Amino acid sequence: MHRIAIGCLCLILTSQLLAEQLEVPIGQQGDQSQSRPATGMSTTVVEEKFGAPENITDPIGEPPITVWKYNRFTVYFEYDLVIHTVLNKS
């Protein structure tokens, strides 16, 4: 019984020693090679470069925030300027 307890303890300690934590900064997550709207682009430029969005939400709040959904990414506008673009979960 004593050997089993020692064996279990060794397995637990060994598995924790072998674990590796990988941290990826948020700015480096996702496929950076995919083109997407940049901060500061206007709605006109975004539509010219990426086409019409699949869905547009009405402006919400003050300042007004509008969300344009594309297949690969979602664009957040304050008034008519991009404030953030995120890749959609695949």
* pTM score: 0.64
pLDDT at 8: 59
The tokens for 12 are 């637990």
Q: Residue 47 has what pLDDT?
A: 97
Show the domain range for 79. 37-90
Q: What is the pLDDT, as a whole number, of residue 11?
A: 61
pLDDT at 37: 97
Domain membership flag for residue 88: yes
pLDDT value at residue 18: 60
Domain-embedded: residue 11:
no
Question: Can you name the residues that pair with 82 across neighbouring β-strands?
Answer: 77
57 lies in some domain:
yes
Judge residue 77's burial from the number of C-beta atoms within 10 Å of its C-beta, 0-12 exposed, 13-18 middle, 19 or more buried: buried
Assigned domain for 83 exists: yes
Residue 53 lies in a domain: yes
Could you give the number of structural domains in the chain? 1
Query: Which residues of the chain fall below pLDDT 70?
Result: 1-2, 5-20, 22-34
